[in-house]
């Protein structure tokens, strides 16, 4: 793999959304074919639609919004860890066994979730690979500044108290959800995450790309 690889999900009305979140709507407002001078559309989507960033305020009362997420956290070297073949919530032992290099600041988890993006069904799955509460504590204790996963939620759906989100966000660990890492192998990469700059936003849809770092 050479050059930049877009690992964000394409936005369309077919995009899978987390249960309870608003669906994507793309409405034609002006069309050249209809006699208008330009094509203009209205896009309606949730702050956690598709590939997006969770800032502290998503689960921490009066936490920082997406517009205050530092760019030097969102951009820089990262490690993609191959966690394929694992099920359920990844705990501290699971994450420790992935061989994340000491000193890594950013971690992207490639799991079997990425296979879901190649399926034609837009039905939200009953189960998916996530990060458990002790896994979140491991991430904090390792000093990671950013963690990303290849599904719309880093936490198992329905987890009481949302301990994974709360642990990460209350310790200023940025969460990136909704990645597609199907074509990305384990290793060292450059990472660019650019969420929309929504004032006090509880989330921000983002374009995300990675590029293999030289050995």
The tokens describing 66, both together, are 């997406």
pLDDT at site 118: 85
Domain limits for position 47: 4-212
Task: Give how far Cα 103 sits from Cα of 48, 78, 167, Å.
Answer: 29, 10, 20
CATH of the domain at 39: 3.50.30.50
pLDDT at site 136: 98
Determine the Cα–Cα distance for residues 146 and 182; give it in Å rounded to an integer: 20
Determine the Cα–Cα distance for residues 133 and 90; give it in Å rounded to an integer: 9
pLDDT at site 121: 65
Query: What is the number of domains present in the chain?
Result: 1
What single string gives the DSSP state of each residue in 91-109? Answer: -HHHHHTTTPPTT--EEEE
pLDDT at site 20: 95
Q: Is 56 helix (H, G, I), strand (E, B) or coil?
A: helix
Characterize 97-123 residue by residue with b for buried, 16 or more Cβ atoms within 10 angstroms of its Cβ, and e for exposed: ebebeeebbbbbbbbbbbebbeeeeee
The tokens describing 146, both together, are 């950013």
Q: Model pTM? A: 0.96
pLDDT at site 214: 82
Determine the Cα–Cα distance for residues 166 and 161; give it in Å rounded to an integer: 8
Q: Would you say 46 and 66 are in contact if contact means Cβ atoms under 8 Å apart?
A: no
pLDDT at site 61: 94
pLDDT at site 1: 54
The tokens describing 59, both together, are 């689960």
Mean pLDDT by 10 residues, the chain (215 residues): 89 94 97 98 98 97 96 98 97 97 97 89 88 98 98 96 98 98 97 98 98 87
Q: Would you say 129 and 157 are in contact if contact means Cβ atoms under 8 Å apart?
A: no
């Amino acid at each position: 793999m050479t050059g930049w690889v877009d690992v964000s999900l394409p936005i369309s009305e077919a995009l899978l959304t987390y249960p309870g979140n608003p669906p994507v709507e793309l409405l034609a407002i002006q069309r050249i074919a209809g006699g208008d001078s330009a094509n203009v559309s209205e896009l309606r989507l949730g702050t956690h639609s598709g590939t997006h960033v969770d800032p502290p305020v998503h689960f921490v009362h009066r936490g920082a919004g997406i517009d205050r997420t530092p760019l030097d956290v969102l951009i820089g070297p990262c490690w993609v860890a191959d966690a394929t073949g694992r099920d359920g919530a990844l705990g501290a032992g699971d994450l420790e066994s992935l061989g994340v290099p000491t000193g890594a600041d950013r971690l992207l988890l490639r799991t079997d979730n990425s296979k879901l993006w190649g399926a034609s069904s837009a039905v939200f799955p009953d189960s998916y690979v996530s990060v458990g509460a002790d896994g979140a504590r491991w991430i904090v204790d390792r000093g990671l500044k950013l963690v990303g996963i290849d599904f719309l939620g880093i936490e198992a759906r329905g987890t009481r108290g949302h301990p994974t989100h709360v642990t990460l966000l209350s310790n200023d660990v940025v969460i990136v959800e909704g990645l597609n890492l199907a074509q990305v192998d384990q290793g060292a990469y450059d990472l660019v995450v650019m969420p929309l700059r929504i004032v006090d936003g509880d989330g921000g849809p983002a374009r995300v790309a990675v590029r293999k770092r030289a050995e």
